[in-house]
């Protein structure tokens, strides 16, 4: 067994998401691209690429990673490209989606050899987090003025619209899509493809997949467009755990257990969004606050109920640790960085990456 | 000139902090250790080590870095050590400070060859951020029960107490130290050294250095202890900028400029603590919201006033970008990671680290 901490990606759990994605592709006609910003652990890309159409990206490095490691269809998007990188982006992409008319105008000619699109912002979103809400006031994410967009229609053949965020509610998705149809219908009818972005939790339990497929198909047929989905979290949800070991236990008014990891270094979104981790089954008579080992006072995974008293050396599996974790891990406090381990379909586990003191040293200079 | 983005560490600015630290050492008798958790860019350690006594750490990797790259006195502290790493920690440290009595008890014998200490928590702090407040309810950071600590006094010769946080107010520091004297006086009188931790902004403008030195000296004499300070931010404040380039400008009700960096990837604390960056001189008739290029809706450095209209290609210097930035940088969105550049005392600049696509790829697997 590898030394903790490590991210454990379980292919059999990944497979159940992949099968739902394949089902949606088949029954809706939509194509599905992995959003690398959420998950970019390329050792499982050969497996995922059997079920998905390609990748979408948010930078030069992501588009290159998608092209080199995932293959198939490669979409390029970024909030802004630089003059220095645009050539390499275009070389590595099948489609490039610009965030603004000014970026489109700047690079349209250079990108004329590949498919070009523009991001639209419908100015409504499902996000309850201002930080993650692309429709927040003064958002820089996409164009919303139909008249301005009409003036550049000769340079694009499609749109990307991303305004769902951790949306597990089909009716809300349906309503969001209705807004888009109403607001941008005249534009949608003139293009060949529309990406609806990510943030739709259609691989979650009890999501009405057939209604979702029918809705996507109706949208596709209404405007005569190829629909794309860009699942990030939906692709890898519940596939991965962060495996940690208890290093110390304390009683400070509550029972605390300190583990060999840190939310800031290894599961950063828990800190940014002030959320709790998940531990299963979370039932029992022994409540503990599970804390990280960084110096941060608020380095707390959450409070959970355990079956037994926790002792130094015990192992804990932090659930649902694939999305936005490995892509954001960092060397805060020099805390040992989790290895990456893959559990194959036959149950064997293989370590695909370990990080050493030398990696820490060379992260700086 | 190097390509942006890059962190620019200006040794002449660093020097003015160093000289204040040297002044405090000379006039108070306190020793000063760089807190690596805040700043670990080791290419300037040879320079800093002329003015400071050594380093303090929060993990195995930091203690090794301090020993190998900074030298002099090397303190080891961590919220929790594992059985696997404790041997290597002890090999690389002059002093080891345990966070809890249980960790002390577990490792006291193994560490008997070096100086041993314990962290105390006075249960009051200067922090207005719950996240960063070591005295928060149910804090795991240090022991507070005098009777329990008395039982292990035979195994330690000193204490670490860290309850200041971005404290620029001498009177507040004085009051905090008074609390410590009152609460822990009986223990302090029995040890040889006391570290007062970091978070004291004594290198800031107009800080009353002589009063500070006198207070430290009085504390030292009262209990007969060698005082240690662990300046992190105070060591490197205002020494460094993050140099960025404008990639796009937009008007979305406000004027926005998008730059080739990201707060989440390169200045993470702005996001975690919901703070604004600093841009100077921040005067003029042209207000802009400066935004990062990641997909995060809230990737905003802040709103600043500029002398002139901002155009694509303009350079902006984000001020005060040394503390907790390089040690927390990460590959979110695959945004190009800033190089690290040092401006020498004679004004020449040298690039000490550049990060490539290969670094991005090997950050995952």
List, for residues B160-186, the tens digit of each pLDDT value.
999 999 999 999 999 999 999 999 999
Q: Is B84 on the interface with A (CB under 8 A)?
A: yes
Q: Is A23 on the interface with B (CB under 8 A)?
A: no
Count residue pairs from A and B with Cβ separation < 8 A. Answer: 244
Instruction: Say whether A294 and B252 touch across the interface (CB within 8 A).
Output: no
B130 prior amide bond cis, ω within 30? no
pLDDT value, residue A104: 98
Mean pLDDT of the region B148-155:
98
- Return d(Cα A276, Cα B168) in angstroms, integer: 33
Residue B262: closest CA among A78, A320, A142: A78
List the single best residue of B4, B88, B91, B138 to mutate versus A (max A Cβ within 10 A): B138
Q: How many residues does chain A have?
A: 365
Helix (H) or strand (E) holding B177: helix B170-188
Of B82, B294, B327, the CB nearest to A79: B294
pLDDT under 50 in chain A at which residues?
none
Q: Which of A57, A131, A119, A15 is nearest to B291 (CA)?
A: A131
Backbone φ/ψ region at B187: left (φ over 0), alpha (ψ -120 to 50), beta: alpha
The chain B residue lying nearest A103, using CA atoms, is B248
Of B16, B78, B75, which is closest to residue B51 (Cα–Cα)? B16
The whole-number pLDDT of residue A126 equals 87
Residue A1: per-residue pLDDT: 77
Residues B235 and B17 sit within 8 Å (Cβ to Cβ): yes
- Find out whether the peptide bond into B37 is cis, omega within 30 degrees of 0: no
Nearest CB to B100; choose among A127, A248, A253? A248
Chain A residues in contact with B289 (beta carbon < 8 A): 138
Task: Give pLDDT, residue A127.
Answer: 83
Chain A residue numbers touching B81 (CB-CB < 8 A): 247
- Residue B361, SS3 per DSSP: helix
pLDDT tens for B103-116 read 999 999 999 999 99
Bond into A304 cis (ω within 30): no
A78 touches chain B (CB under 8 A): yes
A249 vs A358, B82, B100, CA distance in Å?
Answer: 30, 12, 9
Per-residue model confidence (pLDDT) at position B344: 98
| A190 touching chain B per CB within 8 A | no
Q: What sections of chain A are H helices per DSSP?
A: 11-28, 45-48, 60-65, 83-91, 101-107, 146-150, 170-188, 209-223, 233-236, 263-266, 268-272, 357-362
Per CB-CB distance under 8 Å, the chain A contacts of B331 are 61, 327-328
**CA atoms of A182 and A167, how far apart (whole Å):** 20
Got the DSSP string for B52-111?
S-EEE-SSHHHHHHIIIII-SEEEEEES---HHHHHHHHHT-SEEEESSHHHHHHHTTTT
Kindly state the tokens that stand for B275: 């703070």
List the single residue in B with minimal CA-CA distance to A350. B365
CB contact under 8 A, A245 and B271: no
* Angstroms from A175 CA to nearest CA on chain B: 22
B133 touches chain A (CB under 8 A): yes
Chain B contact present for A334, CB below 8 A: yes
Q: Is the pLDDT of residue B345 over 90?
A: yes
Cβ–Cβ of B328/A331 closer than 8 Å?
yes
CA–CA gap between residue A137 and residue B117 (Å, rounded): 51
Top residue of A125, A334, A337 to mutate, by most chain B CBs within 10 Å, is: A334
Classify residue B76 as left (phi > 0), alpha (psi -120 to 50) or beta.
beta
The C-alpha of B332 sits at a distance from chain A's nearest C-alpha, in angstroms, of 5
Q: 3-state class of B154 per DSSP?
A: helix
**Taking chain A, what is the end-to-end CA distance rounded to the nearest angstrom?**
33
Q: What is the pTM of this model?
A: 0.97
Residue whose token pair is 């290895």 = A339
B196-230 confidence digits (pLDDT tens): 999 999 999 999 999 999 999 999 999 999 999 99
What is the rounded average pLDDT of the residues B8-35? 98
Six-digit token string for A118: 């523009």
Residue B251 touches partner A, C-beta closer than 8 Å? no
pLDDT at position A345: 98
Contact with chain B for residue A266, Cβ under 8 A: no
- The H or E element containing residue A262 is none
Mean pLDDT of B332-360: 98
Q: Say if A215 is an interface residue toward chain B (CB within 8 Å).
A: no
Average pLDDT over residues B235-250: 98
Confidence (pLDDT) at A301: 98
Name the burial class of residue B129, with classes exposed (0-12), middle (13-18) and buried (19+) by CB atoms within 10 angstroms of its CB: middle
Q: Closest chain B residue to A35 measured between Cα atoms?
A: B333
pLDDT of residue B127: 83
pLDDT at B128: 80
Contacts of B336 in chain A (CB under 8 A): 59-61, 85
User: Which is nearest to A203 in space by CA: A48, A41, A6?
Assistant: A48
Spatial CA neighbour of A122 closest among A147, A97, A139: A139
What is the rounded average pLDDT of the residues B91-110?
98
- CA angle, A159 as apex, A153 and A161 as ends, to 5°? 140
Q: Which of B69, B131, B332 sits opposite A296 (nearest CB)?
A: B131
End-to-end CA separation in angstroms for chain B: 33
Cβ within 8 Å of B, A 158-177: none
10 Å CB burial of residue B328 (0-12, 13-18, 19+) is: buried
User: Taking CB atoms and an 8 Å cutoff, what residues of chain B touch A332?
Assistant: 37, 327-328
B312 contacts A106? CB cut-off 8 A:
yes
To which residue do tokens 């902090």 refer? B17
Chain B CB contacts of A118 below 8 Å: none
**Residue A129: predicted pLDDT:** 84
Does the pLDDT value for residue B298 go beyond 80? yes
Contacts with B156 (C-beta within 8 Å, 6 or more apart), sequence order? B104, B116, B117, B118, B191
Q: What is the mean pLDDT of residues B290-305?
A: 98
DSSP-derived letter for residue A215 is H
Which residues are bridge partners to B8 per DSSP? B241, B341
Nearest CA in chain B to A333: B37
Q: Chain A within 8 Å of B99 (Cβ-Cβ)?
A: yes
Whether A196 and chain B come into contact, CB under 8 Å, resolves to no
Beta bridge partners of A244: A316
Q: Which residues pair with A120 in a beta bridge?
A: A143, A161
Question: Is B271 touching A (CB cutoff 8 A)?
Answer: yes
Q: CB–CB of A80 and B138 under 8 A?
A: no
Instruction: Please state, as a whole number, how many other Cβ atoms lie within 10 Å of the Cβ of residue B2.
Output: 15
């Amino acid at each position: 067994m590898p030394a903790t901490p490590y991210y454990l990606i379980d292919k059999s759990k990944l497979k159940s998401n992949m099968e739902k994605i394949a089902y949606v592709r088949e029954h809706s006609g939509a194509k599905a691209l992995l959003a690398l910003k959420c998950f970019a652990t390329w050792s499982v890309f050969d497996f995922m690429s059997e079920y998905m159409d390609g990748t979408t990206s948010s930078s030069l490095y992501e588009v290159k990673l998608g092209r080199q490691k995932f293959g198939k269809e490669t979409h390029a998007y970024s909030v802004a490209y630089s003059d220095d990188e645009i050539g390499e982006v275009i070389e590595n992409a099948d489609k490039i989606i610009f965030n603004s008319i000014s970026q489109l105008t700047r690079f349209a000619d250079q990108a004329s050899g590949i498919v070009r699109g523009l991001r639209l912002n419908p100015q409504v979103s499902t996000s309850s987090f201002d930080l993650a809400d692309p429709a927040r006031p003064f958002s820089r994410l996409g164009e919303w003025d139909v008249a301005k967009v009409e003036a550049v229609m000769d340079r694009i053949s499609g749109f990307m619209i991303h305004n769902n965020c951790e949306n597990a509610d089909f009716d809300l998705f349906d309503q969001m899509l209705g807004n888009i149809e109403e607001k941008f219908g005249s534009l949608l009818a003139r293009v060949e493809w529309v990406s609806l972005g990510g943030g739709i939790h259609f691989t979650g339990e009890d999501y009405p997949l057939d209604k979702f497929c029918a809705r996507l198909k109706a949208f596709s047929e209404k405007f005569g467009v190829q629909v794309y989905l860009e699942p990030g979290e939906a692709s890898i949800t519940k596939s991965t755990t962060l495996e940690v070991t208890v290093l110390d236990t304390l009683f400070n008014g509550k029972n605390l257990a300190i583990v060999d990891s840190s939310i800031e270094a290894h599961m950063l979104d828990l800190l940014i969004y002030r959320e709790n981790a998940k531990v299963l089954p979370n039932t029992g008579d022994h409540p503990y606050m599970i804390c990280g080992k960084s110096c941060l006072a608020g380095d707390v995974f959450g409070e959970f109920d355990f079956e037994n008293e926790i002792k130094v050396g015990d192992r804990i599996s932090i659930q649902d640790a694939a999305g936005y974790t490995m892509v954001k891990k960092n060397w805060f406090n020099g805390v040992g960085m989790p290895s990456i381990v893959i559990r194959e379909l036959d149950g064997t586990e293989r370590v695909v990456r370990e990080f050493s003191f030398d990696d820490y040293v060379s992260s700086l200079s």
